[in-house]
Amino acid sequence: MVFAKENTMATIQTADGTELFVKDWGSGRPLVFVHSWAVTNDIWQVQHAHFAAAGHRIVAFDRRGHGRSDQPGTGYDLDTLADDLARVLAARDVHDATLIGHSLGCAEIVRYLTRHGTGRVARIALIAPTTPLLRKSADNPDGIDNALFEATRAAWLRDFPSWVADNAPPFFVPETSRAMIDWAIAQITQIPLAIALACNKVGTDSDTRAELAAITLPALVIHGTHDVSAPIALTGARTARLLPRCRYQVYDGAPHGLMFTHADRLHADLAAFMAGD
């Protein structure tokens, strides 16, 4: 594994002056990781270690408001988040990339492609996506009633740390260590509550159905049958049907945090996908 000295710049600046923390390791075909709601790019740390050792360039960043990036009071909409991703790719001069997203990060990838084009991207992998639309509406009758989302956000306003502690275990599997679960809780509770609320609303309300159908890049969708954060029938299955060139893989028994619980299988499937197009 080679860590190129020229790729060590810790931050880049977005159009509105927000400083984003960026990890840029090594050389080779670049993998760009976009993380999920309320955590940091460290949610991908197992994949970073594995694929850096395999000779890939690893590019990842903390979303605005998260982790080591600035915490501005604005910019928590899907267009701005996609523009931030575009800025990372441009600032780090990334080409021929595989974009790998988890949960909310998948929506950011989709919006990036439809807003900024595919010139820097070779393929995409959407892991446990929240796309195409979670919220129930007249033309999405099988979605989740918005009242449930509002009740959840109201509970956060009363006691966010308690809600996170109660809901962290289903992110994993029963045999996951207490230390790993506590690490996830610490990741989530570090985010300012106002930003957690704003980004959650982006995840529940964003409608990417038409955008997914317009993406012609090779795509991989991986989703677990025991995902309680993004139920597979509403998210992964529908996302896969909408993407014109999609390889869809279902992990029986896997939860939302399958990058930890099913890491070996995920690594093999990502490698096979990247080798096969």
Q: Is 259 helix (H, G, I), strand (E, B) or coil?
A: helix
Cα Rg of the chain (Å, integer) = 17
Instruction: Select which of 35, 50, 84, 103 is catalytic.
Output: 103
Sheet containing strand 121-127, strands side by side = 11-13, 19-25, 57-61, 30-34, 97-102, 121-127, 219-224, 246-251
d(CA 2, CA 235): 37
Phi, psi of 71 (to 5 degrees): -120, 70
Tell me how long the chain is.
Answer: 277
Mark whether 256 is an active-site residue.
yes
Mark whether 36 is an active-site residue.
no
Half-sphere exposure of 239 (CA within 13 A, CB side): 33
Q: Which of 116, 144, 120 is nearest to 130 (CA)?
A: 144
Mark whether 35 is an active-site residue.
no
Instruction: Select which of 48, 227, 262, 269 is catalytic.
Output: 227
d(CA 41, CA 182): 17
Q: Is 209 helix (H, G, I), strand (E, B) or coil?
A: helix
d(CA 140, CA 136): 5
Distances in Å between the Cα of 162 and the Cα atoms of 51, 185, 188, 191 are: 35, 10, 11, 14
Positions annotated as catalytic residues are 103, 227, 256
